[in-house]
Structure 1
Amino acid sequence: MERLLTGKWASLGVMLISGTFVGVFLLYAQGSGLIMARGSSAELFAVAASVGVVIGLSHAIWMSRYLSEVKRLTAHIDSMASSDAVPALPGLAMGLDEVVQAVNRLGMKYHDRIEVLTAKRRELELHLRMAEAERQHALAILDSIEDAVVVTDSFNEVALANATAARVLGFELDEALNRPIDRVVREKHLVDMIKDTRESTLRKHPRHSEYYFDNAGCRSIYDVTLTSMNKHHESDDHSQCNEGVVTVLRDVTKEKQIAEMKSDFVSNVSHELKTPLSSIKAYMEMLIDDEAGDEETRAEFYNIIQGETNRLQRLIDNILNISRIESGVVKVQREYVAVAPLIQEVMDVMQPQARAKDIKLIVENINPVYQVFADRDMLWQATLNLVGNAIKYTLNGGVVEVGAKVDESKRAISFYVKDSGIGIPEDAIAHVFNKFYRVIGHKKIAKGTGLGLNLVKHIIETVHNGQISVQSEVNVGSVFMYTLPMADNIL
């Protein structure tokens, strides 16, 4: 090596990093410090270049180590972000220890916060599951209720509803939720009632109203109950806000019909009882006052009193029999009943009434072996009522025919009573078996209570599980027929 600088000593070195040659350096020292030798410009440039190389290489080494530590710190922070636990990081060089400690403290706080939030999240999930379970339970209860239930919120939107409400009010249950009530329910008056209830903050008690629905020509009556869901403000005990309305619609159509029938029943019974009683009372008073001057007149009064008494007795018996059948307390004594003798017995009883009006009674020849398993007295009463009605509404000189038809394939016997009477209007046929119903035009022709045919219907259909029907034409006549199962035991 040639001497480049003068001085006590000079040193030339080779720079290696990780076993790789990166350059050489030259140092010149004098005394205890490093000095720069004087010389030519070329020599000074060489020295300056050597010093620059040394500084650059040293800086490169420092930066390499610094970046390596930074990468470790970055990896540590990434692991903190991707893991629930906070991994420990050993100390770092290059003056990064304080940063590491700060990052570790932040990581611990971050970890504690995660644990708190995780616990809250689990608690909220539990509450959510419980709320959903309660909601499903509430929906199950709502769907099991026969009444229609609609719950609207503070925005007049449907919050809950059951299947009955969807059927009654005519909407799709899945499409109705969270929609405005006026877009779901077509009944404007009902919608107005719901809105009015929500907007009225002073209403503390449920509101009741009757509402009428007309569906396909049939009117239904509903009792509507609207209840506000009021909430007190925490800042003011006297202040309330309405959070919604619960609307319940209960079908009271049958109740109204039953109430009306009861009212009509009482009115009709009172009228029917009053008529014979008034007649009996009047004739009794005339007898007491000795207004019957001779035996013939007194005998006439006695016959009228006896007739009205019998009428009153029949009315009471019919009412009691119908009441027993409807309440299920009637005692049914079933036995094998021969059809032919039963019909003949009824005809023998009714023969005097038929003879009084010159009505011809015809009994069809019936095979004596046919029989039914029934209560004989009730069956006799039903047949007697039908024959009595036929005679009552057949004009003088008419014909009443009684018989039975056998359907071997269905194992059934049909009893029929056919007359040539005044007939029944078509619009009245559906009502002839109702309690106290009488055709308006028939009231002038014959007296009656309107209970005879209703009793027949109960005896045949309710007690014996049979069927009864009627065919009629005005001024031509009527045919009443009831059908019962044929008894298996043939005499």
Structure 2
Amino acid sequence: MNSTRSGSILFWVFVGFGLAGVILGSVTVIGEPVPVPAWTAWWFAAAAIGGLSFLYLRLSRSLRNLAGFLKDSDGSWNRPEYSAEIGAIQEAIRKRNHEGTQKLERLNQQNQDLTLQIQLLRKQKQNAQAIIFGIRDAVLVVDSAHCLIIANQAAETLFGFHFDPSRLRPASELIRHSELLNLMDKSRQNRIPHVRHELTVDRNHEPAVFDCILSCVTDDQDQLTGIVAVLHDITREKEISRMKNDFVSHVSHELKTPLASINAYAEMLVDGEAKDPQTLQQFCSVIQTQAQRLNRLIEDILNISRIESGLVKINKQTISLSMVIHDAVEMIRSFAQEKNISVQTPPSIIFDQVYADKDMMTQVVINLLSNAVKYTPKQGRVTVDCEVNESDQVVRVQVTDTGMGIPPEDIPRLFEKFYRVEANKKMAKGTGLGLNLVKQMVEKVHQGKV
């Protein structure tokens, strides 16, 4: 105890000398005029070094004593009185480490599963968006707050707005169609799963008809989360349906007229009203004329149908248009002579060969000449011209007459099925199919131009 206390005192003495030496040495280094010899500072520094050495020896002895206390007699660290506690601590540490490792593995697995699920959901979202943005129908999706959350390019073009997915805006600010907005509000209020409406939308300053299907979207708790609107353009279908209805109506009317005449004169023949051969000849002539008219009507309808469906039989060969015109004029000449109408034909052309169906080209010229003769007053004139443009490899046939002409407002509809100019209906009877058949044969079959 006394040696320990003496060592401590000696240690602090050495430390005190060391500090004094450092101070004096520093003063000397700084260069202030201090009346202390330089060796004194070095002596005190040596004393400080001795004190530090003594402190190191004391600490080393203390550590050796502690190690000796913990070791066994054979030098191992397993002291019996501490082995149980140390083993328990080691087991607790190992168990806690194992549990932490298992938790970390579970967390890593959960993280991988969540990453895969997120990637799968992101891929599914991208696929759904690609489908929505790729279809031609307009698609609009609004949430429960009636904000627009999805709109494809077709919808943007139809309603004239730009959709920004990063900035949600109310649908009423983007969609300028009150009827559609009202229908979406009704669907949200009534929660009808699917409902179909027919809407008319102005597109390029023209009305377009759309088949609009509205669907309600709900979550797992059957709570409404949004409304989906899909608009399919049915303008063309509507136009085709209207044309079919008009076609059936016109065909029915055109078929009824000759059939009614045939039926009436046949009944008169059955009733014996033809008392003399002249009357009998008249009745039979009317029946024959109406039957021929009915046959022409049916043939024209069938020809147009075959051409439009692509089922018409075409026999193209090299023919002379001058010869075709000459044959057609001979067929129509007797009809023209009844009205004292002169038909002027072009002079023969050597190089007027074309690759076409002869029967169709003959039918085209006959239809044009027949129309010209029918709508030309008596003692009129019908002229047929044929020109060859060798540079463009084109042959042009032109039929002109001295008839009443066609009003400008009727020209755009001149080649429609069953269309007849109202101002000229009283001059001659017709089916309204002749010019349509001409256009089909020239343009669709032979890629020409009327």
Shorter chain as normaliser: what TM range? 0.7 to 0.9
2:15 paired residue among 22, 28, 38: 22
- Look up the match of 2:157: 167
Letter in 2 for 1:183: E
1:388 paired residue among 364, 370, 375: 370
Calculate percent identity across the aligned residue pairs. Answer: 39
Give the Å deviation of 1:230: 2.5
Letter in 2 for 1:230: T
- Counterparts of 1:382 and 1:21 in 2: how far apart (Å)? 135
Instruction: For structure 1, list consecutive stretches of 5 or more residues without a partner in the other structure.
Output: 1-6, 25-56, 62-100, 234-239, 469-491
Give the Å deviation of 1:275: 0.2
- Look up the match of 1:210: 198
CA displacement, residues 260-313 of structure 1 (integer Å, 9 cap, x when unaligned): 111111111111000001011111111222222322222222211111111001
Summarize the alignment of residues 71-470 of structure 1 with structure 2, pairs less than 5 Å apart: 116-174=106-164, 178-201=168-191, 203-204=192-193, 206-233=194-221, 240-468=222-450
CA displacement, residues 166-203 of structure 1 (integer Å, 9 cap, x when unaligned): 222222244697332112211121112112212223x2
- Counterparts of 1:106 and 1:422 in 2: how far apart (Å)? 110
- Counterparts of 1:198 and 1:313 in 2: how far apart (Å)? 59
Report the 3-state secondary structure (helix = DSSP H, G, I; strand = E; otherwise coil) of the residue aligned with 1:22.
helix
- 1:105–1:286 Cα change, 3 Å: same
- RMSD value, Cα: 3.1
- 1:173–1:104 Cα change, 3 Å: farther
Give the Å deviation of 1:352: 1.2
Give the Å deviation of 1:117: 4.8
Question: Which structure dedicates a bigger proportion of its chain to strand?
Answer: 1
Report the 3-state secondary structure (helix = DSSP H, G, I; strand = E; otherwise coil) of the residue aligned with 1:286.
helix
- Counterparts of 1:279 and 1:8 in 2: how far apart (Å)? 154
Report the 3-state secondary structure (helix = DSSP H, G, I; strand = E; otherwise coil) of the residue aligned with 1:466.
coil
- 1:10–1:263 Cα change, 3 Å: closer
Letter in 2 for 1:322: I
Q: How many residues align?
A: 382
**Does structure 1 retain, via aligned residues, the 8 Å contact 2:150–2:165?**
no
Question: Which structure dedicates a bigger proportion of its chain to helix?
Answer: 2
- 1:258–1:103 Cα change, 3 Å: same
- 1:417–1:176 Cα change, 3 Å: farther
Give the Å deviation of 1:402: 0.8
- Counterparts of 2:351 and 2:294 in 1: how far apart (Å)? 38
- Counterparts of 1:8 and 1:356 in 2: how far apart (Å)? 161
- Counterparts of 1:217 and 1:447 in 2: how far apart (Å)? 39
- 1:436–1:176 Cα change, 3 Å: farther
Choose 166-175 or 326-335, whichever is displaced more. 166-175
- 1:147–1:176 Cα change, 3 Å: farther
- Counterparts of 2:3 and 2:216 in 1: how far apart (Å)? 107
- Counterparts of 2:285 and 2:15 in 1: how far apart (Å)? 150
CA displacement, residues 89-119 of structure 1 (integer Å, 9 cap, x when unaligned): xxxxxxxxxxxx9999999988776655554
User: TM-score, normalised to structure 1's length?
Assistant: 0.71
Instruction: For structure 2, list consecutive stretches of 5 or more residues without a partner in the other structure.
Output: 18-54, 60-90
- Counterparts of 2:332 and 2:392 in 1: how far apart (Å)? 31
Letter in 2 for 1:200: N
